[in-house]
Amino acid sequence: MINASSYRKAFIAAIILHCSLGLLLLTDSSSSRPVLVKDTVNEQGQMLPVEQVAEKKPDIVKAVSVDSKQVMETVNRLKEERAQQARNEKKRQQALEKQAEMARKERIVEQQHLAKLKDESAKLAIARKKAIEEEQKHLKELTLQKEQENKRLDALKAKQQELEKKQQQEAQRLTELKKRQQAEEQSHINKQQAEQELETAKQRQAAQQQAAANAAKQARIAGEVDKYKALIVNAISSRWILPENIDKGLSSQFRIRLAPDGAVLEVSLTRSSGDAILDRSAQTAIYKASPLPVPADVETFNLFRDISLTVRPENVRG
């Protein structure tokens, strides 16, 4: 089943997400900025050094001439210097022109690059527009779907309401039935109470009897356990042929598994005495004593299913 409310939430979230995405795409202007920055950089003038050169004209006219020859020489030298300066100036002008040419070329390249960039940004804008259109189309589809879904949900709701109505009717019927039953019970209640009291008294007595019986049983089981412990030890002892000259300080331990008829199913040596002969002599005695005497009562026998036997060659009889 689709949970209507959760679906609605998801739907609303999807709409919000898409709208915000569209807004972001439409309002984003960060990509046009780098182009403008590059324009401002290009507009910075490259001609400033030319003005500086013009200002640097030397002020030679103020010089005082004393001797014509000297003056001539000086004039000549000045002429020469001027010519020299003019040549230098020309050279500089040429260099500057060259630089200006270079700058112009660079600007052309830059402008070409700019045009390209503008082109690209236009392309991008078209693509974005397309994406937005598609998104809007998709949104429309989604709203359509949602409407359909809502219709379906409404139908479901209607069905549910019908069901609830039915249930309510059923419940009503039941409560009526119960009321009738209670009425009937009410008629028997005095009788029942009397009966119940009698019953509880009986139960209490039975519990007391049960407790007494349990205690007796426990005592009986304990007695049985002791009895069969002795019988089992005796059965093995009478068959245990002690090896001669055995060290009386030795001891080994066995685990014996018994079948309900007392048959020895398995004997395992859980702790060896270190003397293989002693170990085997005891193991032989256990097997030979099979079937061992065991209580017939299942509950008591269960205690003897798995027994541990510690063996110590302390005494010899016979």
Partner 1 sequence: MQVKKIVAVAALLFSGMVNAVDLELTQGINSALPIAINAFGNEDVSTELTQTINGDLRLSGQFKIVPVSPTDEADNAAISMWKQAGADSVVTGHIRRMGNNRYDVSFELRDVVEQGRILLSKSFQVGNRDIRPLAHHISDMVYEKLTGEKGIFSTRISYILVQRGHGRTRYSLEVADADGHNPQSLLVSSEPIMSPAWSPDGRQIAYVSFEKKKPQIFTVTVENGQRRLITDFTGINGAPSWSPDGKQLAVVLSKSGNPKIYFIDLARGALKQMTFGEAIDTEPRFSPDGHSMLFTSGRGGSPQIYKLSLSDGAISRVSYDGNYNARASYTPDQRQVIMLHRQDSRFNIAVQDIASSQVNQLTFAPLDESPSVAPNGRLILYATRYKDQGVLGIVSTDGRIRLRLPAREGDVQEPAWSPYLG
Note the residues at the interface with partner 1 (CB under 8 A). 225, 229, 232-233, 236-245, 275-277, 280-285, 287-288, 302-304, 306-318
Determine the 3-state secondary structure of 268 from DSSP. strand
Cβ proximity to partner 1: between 78 and 221 the closer is 221
CB under 8 Å to 92, separation ≥6 — which residues? Answer: 53
- 291 upstream amide cis, omega within 30 of 0: yes
Cβ proximity to partner 1: between 169 and 308 the closer is 308
Cβ proximity to partner 1: between 261 and 306 the closer is 306
CB atoms within 10 A of CB 241: 12
d(CA 199, CA 105): 118
Minimum CB separation from partner 1 for residue 307, in Å?
Answer: 4
Cβ proximity to partner 1: between 143 and 237 the closer is 237
Q: Angle at Cα 74 formed by Cα 72 and Cα 75, nearest 5°?
A: 60
CB-based contact 96:54 (threshold 8 Å):
no
Minimum CB separation from partner 1 for residue 207, in Å?
Answer: 25
Minimum CB separation from partner 1 for residue 305, in Å?
Answer: 9
Cβ proximity to partner 1: between 74 and 289 the closer is 289
Cβ proximity to partner 1: between 72 and 241 the closer is 241
Return the residue matching tokens 């209607």.
158
CB-based contact 18:139 (threshold 8 Å):
yes
What token pair was written down for 124?
């991008």
Minimum CB separation from partner 1 for residue 261, in Å?
Answer: 17
The distance between the two most distant Cα atoms of the chain, rounded to a whole number of Å, is 171
Q: How many angstroms separate the Cα of 70 from the Cα of each of 62, 64, 77, 246? A: 15, 11, 10, 152
Minimum CB separation from partner 1 for residue 240, in Å?
Answer: 4
Cβ proximity to partner 1: between 74 and 262 the closer is 262
Minimum CB separation from partner 1 for residue 210, in Å?
Answer: 22
Sign of the torsion formed by the C-alpha atoms of 233, 235, 238 and 240:
negative
| Phi, psi angles (nearest 5°) of residue 269 | -80, 110
Minimum CB separation from partner 1 for residue 243, in Å?
Answer: 6
